[in-house]
Structure 1
Amino acid sequence: MRYYPTDLLLAVEDAERALAEPESGLARLLREAGLSALAGLFAGAAVTEGLDRLLGGLGQFPWQPAVDSDDVYLISPAGVVVLDDHRPGNTLRGLLLAWAVGNEVVVRTARESFWTALAGRLRAFGHPLPPLRVTAPDAPVPAGARPVAVPDVVPVLRTGTPDTRPEAPLDPAPSDPAPLTPAPFDPAVFAEPVSGSPSGDTEDILIVLGAREAADPAGLVGDVPGEDCRAPWPHRLLRREHLRGTTLSAARSADRAREADRVGARLRYLVGQARRTPFYRDLPAVTGLDDLGRLPVLEKAALEANSLPGSRGMSTDRPRTGEVLRSGASTGAPRYIVYSRTDWENMIREAIPLFRTLGLENGDRLINTLYGGGLYGGLSTTLCELSRMPLECYSTAQAISVDDLLMLCESFEANALLGLPVLIMPLLREAKQRRPGLRLEKVVYGGTPMTETDKDWLREELGARVVTSILAANDGAQLGYQCARMGGTLHHACPDYNLIEVVDENLVPVPEGEPGELLITSLQKFEGPLIRYRIGDLGRVFRYDCPCGVSGPVLEYLGRADGQVKVKGATVTHAEMLAALEVFRVSQLQVEIVSVDGRETVIARVESPLALDAGEVRDHLTRQFKTLDQEHLFDDALDVFELVVECHPEGGLTRNATSGKIKPVIDRRLVDA
């Protein structure tokens, strides 16, 4: 059985909460054993941050993606770890980190009843933890086991500061119930303090802490887990194997037998973190993927009502860190999307191997034309992601001109381009007209679909050998990606990052491969958590053995379910347009989006009992919705968009022969993709 560090973290956080109550079973156990000082080692935030650093990402465990190649490292437990209980604090530190990476632990100790009881208390929180065996101090080391010496924590006093603290006995007698405040430099945790630098042989002193204040050193206990994870000794608890030639997606594909357990562990941890928010405080605990359906669906209205700037209902109680993005909607009050520092780092760690699968390689020279400014996420996220890769990047954002493009291709030998089809196709066509010999090896796009004719043009006219797509949501980041062997609107799904469900109109899961509405659960985003979020997109998911070698879930994107019209990187809804047309007594509205040669056209067909002037209706819509006017954020020389209005009498639009309904939004970019 594989164990996951996130389950250990949940147990540590539960222990930390229990120890805040002096009469909890765990608090009494430590107090009665005279080991109250150990309470400070259950520091959830410090242990989480330390393990994330030690393992190179909790969200990617048991793999650690390399940065300078497409390889991964496989992290596995050492096996059976033996700890000698010379100092209880050292033993607990060793136990927690050994369990975090999945080791069975043997503790050789004279405190057999204490360690057995402590393990029982931690298991009672209900999270899967590895085995623990408690033996006598002189018991033989089991065959094949690895003894690990956990180094002492040595407090270093400020030079010239006298140590006036009384000596604390190792096993003080039980006292009356009181809040657990670790005694200063309690020998259960700390070695003998020294003044200045430790003298003599310090080979076994791997953690040396300076006291902030000689009279109040208790805060040092909470620093210990973080210091541990920076030290060399925890590496004896694990094995790290370099899997040359194995990508993260391939490693996860080969781990298919454990996919449900792996993703289930991520779900358990997400729910545990989500319960730190007011909105999700009463969320039921889950044991695995089979419990996903017990969790409520998150509707857009609830997300907006509990998100910034109006509410902190979706915010945890942790210190504020990270990055804040703005929703890309062009109408209504803006909503802000908070990524904690951990969330942001998780997104970057997942994106780097994804970009490699999209076709980017070491030494590429990439022009990044994604939207930037105004807290919009396209440019800011990719700036961080691409800066970790061995590429040369030219981040022009949407302000790139044809002259800029030609200069970068000629002077810097740019060979790759990243952007939205609505910008890059007119840009590249104009550049090709000016310089017929223009070549571009790689085009990676996102935001909206690209037609197959546009893809063919890129291959035939520019010699592009890579034309791939990334599918992302404003709130949850990447949902899927295309490898070189996948086309149309098919994308490899990313279940370790965003778990996708497909449901019918009653929010009941549909059979595999059937179309329906998409719900996403963002498994590595804990600030503003998204659990079964109804994103308003349609699609179908099925398992597929791709010729690229990756087997797993594939998402076919089928467009919007909520009548959204997305053009020029912004959105307006069908309902908003129809409401704005009430002044013309419009009873029916159909919106069609067409892309020809990279130029997007929105055709608004209206029915009204009045004889309407198409130009007047068009002017009214462009005044109401900036998304629909001729202005854009690209080079003014580019002709990228047009709004066309068709006026029909009532009954003039084509109805479905069976239902009599009019299809509200037709996105030809999907039909032709």
Structure 2
Amino acid sequence: MTRYYPTDLLLAVERVEAELAAPDSAAAKLLHDNGVPELVALFAADELRDGLDGLFGGLSQFPWRPLIDTNDVCEYSPAGTVVLDDRTAGATLRGLLLGWAAGNEVVIRSARRPFWRELIGLVRGQGLALPEARTARADADVAGTAVVVPEIAFDGRPEPATLAVRVDPAREARELAVLALDCRSAWVHQLYRTEYLLGTSLSAARSRDTAEERGRLDAKLRYVVERARRAPFFRELPPVAGLDELGKLPIMEKSDIEAHSLPRSRDLSSGDVPTGEVLQSGGSSGTPRYIVYSRTDWHNMVREAIPLFHALGLAKGDRLINTLYGGSLYGGMTTTVTELSRMPVECYTTGQHITVDDLLMLCGKFDANAILAMPALLLPLLRQAVERRPGLRIEKVIYGGTPMSEVDKKWLREHLGTRVISSILAANDGAQLGYQCGELGGRLHHTSPDYNLIEVVDEAGNPLPEGEMGDLLITGMQKFEGPLLRYRIGDCGRVFRHECACGVSGPVLEFAGRTDGLIKIYPSRVLHADVLAGLGVFGVSQLQIEITPSDAGESVVVRTESPRVLDPGEVRAFLTKEFPPLSPPESGDGPSALHVECFAEGKLPRHAVSGKIKTVIDNRLR
């Protein structure tokens, strides 16, 4: 059975809505000539969108609805064939639109069959994938689910099968969002079936949906691109039918956001009523960018994040210390407080100002067993805490913002008894990109194309074969205000399909860090992440590499941070042997000098807002 997506119906309704508003509209003439001009008001795509989003618990998660407490999902499916008796045109059209939204074939029994055939043809003729619909004689015997769509009765008049509305005398009934109200009414539940999938997470449901995966992602991409075309910056974008046409869209650079969003411009705005949250991005690595999330965008982020936190290892009853950075429009604390407040866990949100005393008190008095943090803040804090309380235990560590070295993970297991150490990849511009389940480690992360579709390209924007390392582009499939379409986010990595022991199959991302972490010194290249991993033999937790041009060539300064005192000479000798591109060559191109500076833990400068350490400083680019 073909699955249909309500977002395609929304696009069709939006196009009919535009036709009805046009001068000399044939669509408006159809309604007027048949004595039902009031039906124009029912072609309201935004109203229908808001109603369906509430009805299905998130249009972007359809056909599943994640359950917060259990990490299971409910799955929606159509009732099958819905039969409507054409008592009034308004009720019949409401039944038709909502019947289609749930994926049903709709049969209209009517004495005015030519009108309904023409109207059905108008909506289905918009080039979108919609279910079938047909007409039948008013007295025909039709198999299916007979649905009585209630009339709208104002001021609570007692009529059978009635949708009663009480209207304040100071307001007019025409302000009523009828379709959104229908989506909150009992009658609409006849249009679909729900199945509770015990033990099935959202990511598992999607990974098993192999027959429908392409159609599901195609529908999401069609919708987000069409919605994006409301914004002046995207107005000239071509519509796309699906993933095969993704390459028709231009690559979006950070400079595009900087130039075309507030405070400079509203070119990325849809023109809708402002709602939601604005985050600042890029403050630690360049010019700030302001990323807008509408209310719906924010809700989608939360709906997707809660199953992700379950997959990271959080469970019902956990007691979590949240130390992520906040303030100055930075998103770490803001997003996670919203997400975690909906989960069945107890949270203690300290932010970046947590002290050792705070940590020990929360672990001792509140029995905190988990912590969410950035490694640059976390490891110095925990080492001081263990010195003061050697028996301290923290069961779960979830980290993001910057990578964590393997030597630090080993220390957590040995000194704190930590059994769950999971990484989450997220950014202010785009939210979550990937996560680690209990089976993935190192740099590997599950991704969700239903939320952020990830492409890998070379510097010129040409697609790279699966498994090759390159720049990451993201397309936010559930972000509609200030959309991110093929956005070069500034990270690099490679993507390949993986059958994971956790039960989720699909794309995984081997994350190699920021694109500026790819250090290029004349013909040679080396990854910051590889150098950090190599320095694990010295117990290095954090690493900064600075490249400066000089008269003799280029000077490289390597700065390390570690819990024990290091000998710069020993570190330099190691780097010279293991990473030749960083060391002065005897002949040929390369850096003219390699210097090593060793810092105590917590002593490398952190950005005041994000708390991150600038991993690579390339003064050649200035």
**The two structures share one fold, judged by TM-score above 0.5:** yes
What is the Cα deviation at residue 563 of structure 1?
5.3
Tell me the equivalent position of 1:507: 461
SS at 1:383 equivalent: helix
Match of 1:251 among 205, 228, 237: 205
Look up the SS of the partner of 1:256 in the other structure: coil
Amino acid aligned to 1:329: G
**Distance 1:465-1:653 versus aligned 2 partners, 3 A rule:** closer
Q: Distance in 2 between matches of 1:613 and 1:21?
A: 65
- Distance apart, 1:135 and its partner CA: 0.7
Number of aligned residue pairs: 580
Per-residue CA deviations over 1:244-289 (Å, capped at 9, x if unaligned) read: 1111111001102211110110000001110010000111111111
SS of aligned partner of 2:297: helix
Q: How does 1:449-598 map to 2 (within 5 A)?
A: 449-562=403-516
| Corresponding residue for residue 219 of structure 1 | 175
Question: After the TM superposition, which residues 332-371 of structure 1 pair with which residues of structure 2 at under 5 Å, given as runs?
Answer: 333-371=287-325
State the SS of the aligned residue for 2:270.
Answer: coil
Q: Provide the C-alpha distance between the structure 2 equivalents of 1:629 and 1:453, rounded to a whole number of angstroms.
A: 14
Contact 2:323 2:352 in 1 (8 A): yes
Deviation at 1:365, TM superposition (A): 0.1
The equivalences for 1:20-39 within 5 A come to 20-39=21-40
Aligned to 2:163: 206
Q: CA deviation at 1:27?
A: 1.1
> Cα offset for 1:538?
1.2
Distance 2:449 2:593 in 1: 31
Instruction: Give distance in 1, aligned partners of 2:586 and 2:3.
Output: 55
Letter in 2 for 1:540: R
Structure 1 pair 44–551 and aligned structure 2 pair: CA distance change class (3 A): same
Report the CA distance between 1:495 and its aligned residue. Answer: 0.5
**SS of match in other structure, 2:211:** helix
Give the Cα separation in 2 of the matches to 1:383 and 1:510: 37
| 3-state SS of paired residue (1:557) | strand
Aligned residue type for 1:218: R
Pairing 1:7–2:18 present: no
Please state whether the residue corresponding to 1:230 is helix, strand or coil. Answer: coil
8 Å Cα contact 2:330/2:428 also seen in 1? no
Do 2:544 and 2:560's aligned partners in 1 also have CA atoms closer than 8 Å? Answer: no
User: Aligned runs of 1:430-445 on 2, under 5 Å?
Assistant: 430-445=384-399
Shift of 1:598: 7.0
Task: Provide the residue aligned with 1:168 in structure 2.
Answer: none
- 2:544 corresponds to which residue? 602
Check whether the contact 1:57–1:346 (CA below 8 A) recurs between aligned residues.
Answer: yes
Structure 1 gaps of 5+ residues are 157-196, 566-573, 576-588, 619-627, 631-637
Measured against aligned partners, the alpha-carbon deviations of 1:30-82 in whole angstroms (never above 9, x if no partner) come to 11111110111111221111100000000100000001111000011111100
Q: 1:590 to 1:106 in 2, by over 3 A?
A: closer
* Secondary structure, counterpart of 2:496 in structure 1: strand
The aligned residue for residue 127 of structure 2 is 126
- CA distance 1:652–1:471, shift in 2 (3 Å): closer
Q: Secondary structure at the match of 1:206?
A: strand
Within a 5 Å distance, the mapping from 1:368-383 to structure 2 comes to 368-383=322-337
Task: State the distance in 1 between where 2:588 and 2:114 align.
Answer: 72
Aligned to 1:101: 102
- Cα gap change, 1:118 to 1:590, in 2 (>3 Å): closer
Q: For residues 235-274 of structure 1, what are the structure 2 equivalents within 5 Å?
A: 235-274=189-228
Matched to 2:192, the amino acid is L
Aligned partner of 1:548: which letter? C
Alignment partner of 1:319 is 2:240:
no
State the one-letter code of the partner of 2:148: A
2: distance between equivalents of 1:652 and 1:293? 35
Q: Which amino acid aligns with 1:281?
A: R
SS of alignment partner, residue 233 of structure 2? coil
Is the contact made by 2:323 and 2:350 (CA closer than 8 Å) also made in structure 1? Answer: yes
Q: Aligned runs of 1:605-616 on 2, under 5 Å?
A: 605-609=547-551
Counterpart in 2 of 1:150?
149
Match for residue 91 of structure 1? 92
How far 1:659 sits from its partner (Å)?
Answer: 9.7
- Is the contact made by 1:369 and 1:418 (CA closer than 8 Å) also made in structure 2? yes
Task: Quote the Cα distance in structure 1 between the aligned partners of 2:388 and 2:157.
Answer: 71
Distance 1:104 1:639, change over 3 A: farther
Aligned amino acid, residue 19 of structure 1: L
User: Conserved in 2, the CA contact under 8 Å of 1:309 and 1:335?
Assistant: no
Rounded Cα–Cα distance in structure 1 between residues aligned with 2:7 and 2:586: 54
Which digits, 9 at most, give the CA deviation of each residue in 1:94-144, with x for residues without a partner? 1111101100101101111111111111122211110001111011022xx
Aligned to 1:185: none
Tell whether the 8 Å contact from 2:318 to 2:369 is kept in structure 1 after alignment: yes
String of CA shifts for 1:159-189, please: whole Å, max 9, x gaps. Answer: xxxxxxxxxxxxxxxxxxxxxxxxxxxxxxx
2:230 corresponds to 1:276: yes
Q: CA deviation at 1:558?
A: 1.5
The 1:590–1:511 alpha-carbon spacing in structure 2 relative to 1, beyond 3 Å, is: closer
1:601: how far off?
A: 4.0
Measured in 1, the distance between the counterparts of 2:588 and 2:47 equals 59
- SS for the counterpart of 2:471 is strand
Q: Which amino acid is 1:552 matched to? A: G
Q: 1:290 to 1:663 in 2, by over 3 A?
A: farther
**Contact 1:443–1:466 (8 Å) recurs in 2:** yes
- C-alpha displacement at 1:658, in angstroms? 12
Kept in 1, the 8 Å contact 2:553–2:591? The answer is no
| Contact kept? 2:321, 2:348, Cα under 8 Å | yes
SS of aligned partner of 2:234: coil
Q: Which range moves more in the overlay, 27-36 or 484-493?
A: 27-36
Say if 1:364 and 1:416, in contact at 8 Å, map to a contact too.
Answer: yes
Residues 296 and 391 of structure 1, relative CA distance in 2, 3 Å threshold: same
State the Cα distance separating 1:86 from its structure 2 match.
Answer: 0.4
Using the TM superposition, give the Cα deviation of residue 656 of structure 1 relative to its aligned residue in structure 2, in angstroms. 8.9
Distance 2:102 2:592 in 1: 53
CA 316–429 in structure 1, closer or farther in 2 if over 3 Å, else same: same
Would the alpha carbon gap of residues 448 and 590 (structure 1) be closer, same or farther in structure 2, given more than 3 Å must change?
Answer: closer
Deviates more, 1:380-389 or 1:147-156: 147-156
Instruction: Identify the residue that residue 353 of structure 2 maps to in structure 1.
Output: 399
Q: Shift of the alpha carbon at 1:661?
A: 5.9
CA drift of 1:328 comes to 3.7
The one-letter code sitting in structure 1 at the alignment partner of 2:501 is P
- Cα distance 1:76–1:486, how it changes in 2: closer, same or farther (>3 A)? same
Partners of 1:590 and 1:605 within 8 A in 2? no
CA contact 1:439–1:462 (8 Å) conserved in 2: yes
1:384 is aligned to 338
CA deviation string 1:305-355 (max 9, x = no partner): 111111111110111000011114236542211000000000000000000
Distance 1:148 1:328, change over 3 A: same
Q: What do residues 588-633 of structure 1 show as CA deviations (whole Å, max 9, x unaligned)?
A: x99876787575242435452389999xx99xxxxxxxxx999xxx
Partner of 1:654: 583
Call closer, same or farther: CA 1:262–1:331 in 2, change over 3 Å.
Answer: closer
| Secondary structure of 2:162 counterpart | coil
Structure 1, 499-508 or 529-538: larger mean CA deviation: 499-508
| Closer/same/farther in 2, CA of residues 81 and 658 from structure 1, 3 Å limit | farther
CA contact (8 A) 1:426 1:597 kept: no
Max radius of gyration: which structure?
Answer: 1
Aligned counterparts of 1:661 and 1:513: Cα–Cα separation in 2: 29
Greater CA drift, 359-368 or 427-436: 427-436
CA distance in 2, matches of 1:652, 1:267: 42
Cα–Cα, structure 1 residues 213 and 412, in superposed 2: closer, same or farther, change >3 Å?
Answer: closer
Decide whether the 8 Å contact of 2:433 with 2:448 is kept in 1.
yes
- Compared CA separation, residues 497 and 661, structure 1 to 2 (3 A): farther
Q: Residue 448 of structure 1 aligns with which residue?
A: 402
Distance 1:203 1:443, change over 3 A: farther
The 10-residue stretch of structure 1 (494-503 or 457-466) with the greater mean CA deviation from structure 2: 457-466
Q: 1:652 to 1:464 in 2, by over 3 A?
A: closer
User: Which residue identity is paired with 1:146?
Assistant: T
Q: Which moved more, 1:434-443 or 1:658-667?
A: 658-667
Q: CA RMSD in A?
A: 3.4
